[in-house]
Structure 1
Amino acid sequence: MGNHTVASEFILVGFRGKPEMQSLLFVLFLIMYIVTMMGNIGMILVISADSKLHTPMYFFLKNLSFLDICYSSVITPKAMLSFATGNKAISYNGCATQMFFFSLFGTTEAFFLAVMAYDRFIAVCNPLLYQVIMSKKTRHLLVVVSYFFGCVNCCTQTGFTFSLTFCAPTEINHFFCDVPAVMKASCSATFMNEIVLLVVCGLIIVTTGIIVLISYGYIVATILRIPSGKGRHKAFSTCTSHLMAVSLFFGTVFFMYAQPGAISSPNRGKVVSVFYTVVIPMLNPIIYSLRNAEVKEATNKISGRV
């Protein structure tokens, strides 16, 4: 460490630019955050209010909306505060806390999307046994398991990252405390941390990705065997929204964490991070409501009452 002092806080560099640029970013993030909150809270309220939507699929969708609220709230308010005030400092403990919860909700969402793919596989390929297999006990167990793996990853990533030495003053070339960016800001060797990041995140993405691919492989094969065009269209319509959400999430997360260039491309990573931390939680309720006749019908019914 030489003459360096240990950092007690970090500076989140964020997006460099003139004050006008920071004001524009504040407005954009604010709009997206409001839409995210309204969309996901609205989805939870609609599913809770309509008894027709008290099914396994909508149980998982309601939990996904809750995750997106938490996921976005860990990052966006702090980023907006930095854009608005110009104060980019975050305490050591604040950075560790942000990383912990971001990793928790992000990993849980990955497993949750895999669970939702499995749910669609059972619904399409074993419709007569669907309610038996996806019992209330099974649904709650799958939620708990998803959060368990989220806890395992967030404890691993946060523990390994904050075991590194950070020499003051420490700048993090990001708008939040993401693992690769914080790791790159360390003044100690990070080789083992990079290996852990690559292996653990790679395993998570590969495992959940395989579940999604196998589930949808069987789903497509089953749907193609349905004789009527109307039946095929109905089956596909219940799956396409989830497939869109899965593709968006896994595509960006793979780019960030499961390939060797993740640590060495911070500027490119910042742009991609905006997509999966702010844009995807905003898009999920829009995707599921626009592509789902039952949700639209329930929303219209509730709007009519109001």
Structure 2
Amino acid sequence: MSLLDLPPRPSPARPSTPARSTAPTVPSSAPTAPSAATPSSEHAEERTSRSDRVNRLRAGVLGANDGIVSVAGLAVGVAGATADIRWLLIAGLASLVAGALSMAMGEYVSVSTQRDTDTALIERTRRDLAAQPAAEHERLIASLVESGIPSDVAGQVADSMERHDALAAHTRFRHGVEQEAVVSPVSAALASLVSFTVGGVIPLLAILASPPALRLPATMLAVVLALALLGLLSARLGESNARAATIRTIVGGILALLVTYGIGALLGVAIG
């Protein structure tokens, strides 16, 4: 047999290599991007901030107005009865200290009562939702219908609101109370204390620094300027009509001064 008749030798098989993937592998421990704040949480924070700001603004305006008018009224009333500067100083300081502390405590007690009432209402609503959810659901639907939502869609709206936050939906739309907007009594008391003191110092300095013949006009001028500034400031902070707020505070303050001075003058004549 010749070499040409031999069968060809089979070539050795090459090991097959796995196909290389072109898609990059992502490690399982890759950090995820932080989730942004949801619009509902941002809206809740905005409502809380606005409620606290309005609370401090109300307490501050009330305290400053009361400080200006009450201290000026008492000092002018005493000035109508006597020209002794010592009695004016004693009456003015006593009115300033007592009025500031009284305003702070009154504001604290008032706001604390409101806070306790709102907190108790929220807790009662929480218990009612756990005990009788169906009845509370029907009450929410009735409240939505009363607010103007058509009755044929009020049920769907109530379902959607309860899925999102049932307690907030019931307290807000049925009772007008928001969990995030419960006011702080401490901030209201401090605002009243500081504003009353600042407001009361203005007429007190005016009446003590003026000669006896000019005490009434000087004090009235100081009160008018202070009340005008207070009206403008409160209107700007509250984004309301500055003219109406200014006129309202000035007229009330002037009337209080005239009445107290007249009473003091009558008592001074009677005592003299």
Q: Which has the higher contact order (CA 8 A, sep 6+)?
A: 2
Instruction: Give 1 or 2: higher strand fraction.
Output: 1
The structure with more radius of gyration: 2
Task: Normalising by structure 1, report the TM-score.
Answer: 0.29
Task: Normalising by structure 2, report the TM-score.
Answer: 0.32
